[in-house]
Amino acid sequence: MAVRLMDTCWAVQRETAAEPKPTQNQKLAPHVVEVSGTGFCLTFDPHGGPAGKGRVVVEPRWSNAPSSEDIRHFLDAVIAFSREYERDLSKGFVAILDSTHLVWPSMLSVPQIVSVVRELPPPASLRAGTKAIAIVYRESRWAGTMVPYLWDVVAAVTKPVLVPIFATSQKAADDRFLSDLSASRRISVMAGGA
C-alpha cells in the first residue's frame, strides 16, 4: 500500500508524540512513501534508484523564498521520516534535490537558513544510507553559478562525505548515477572486489 504522511500528521506527532497515520495516495506505486508539507514534497521509493537502490526525491514547492522557519519545518519532517524508515534507508539510496521550482532565498537570509541546517544536521541513517546526491536546477547562468556556491556553504556546515552531481533534470541525474555506479563497479572488480 502506498502511504502519504501528511503535514497534519507531523503536527499531531509533535504535539502528542503519537506516530503519524499514513494515508493512501492512489497515484503512487504501492511501495512508495510520500511526505508532504507546506512547501515541500519528499518521495521515497525503496527500489526506484539505480541497481535496486532506493531513491529519495525532495521537491521544494514554497510559493515564496523559504524562510529559516520553513527550512526548520522541512528538516523536522526529514528527521521524523528518517526515524520511521531507518531500516529501509540503511539499505542504500540515491538522493535528488529537485530545485527547479524553488524560489531562491535572498543572500541576506542565507546565514539564518545555514544556522538552522547547522542546528538540525541530517540524521545518521540518512548520511550512512546515501550513496549519491544530485542537485537538479533550472538551466541558467545564475543557477549554474549560485547552486554550486550554496552547496559549498551547506557543505562547510554539514561536512558531507559525498560530492553532489549537478544536473538540469531528474533524468540526467539518474543517468549520471547509473554511469557513476557502473564506473565504481568496474573499479571494484579491477581491485578484486565483488
pLDDT in tens, 53-86: 899 999 998 888 888 899 999 999 999 999 999 9
- The contacts of residue 26 (CB under 8 Å, 6+ apart) are 2
- The contacts of residue 182 (CB under 8 Å, 6+ apart) are none
What is the pLDDT at residue 25?
52
Q: Is the pLDDT of residue 158 over 70?
A: no
Q: What is the DSSP string of 134-145?
A: EEE---SHHHHH
When the pLDDT of each residue in the chain is averaged and rounded to a whole number, the result is 75
Judge if pTM exceeds 0.85: no
Find the helix or strand (DSSP H, E) in which 42 lies: strand 40-45
What is the pLDDT at residue 137?
81
Does residue 60 sit in helix, strand or coil?
A: strand
Does residue 120 sit in helix, strand or coil?
A: coil
What is the pLDDT at residue 13?
33
Q: Residue 111's pLDDT band (boundaries 50, 70, 90)?
A: confident
What is the pLDDT at residue 184?
60
What is the pLDDT at residue 32?
92
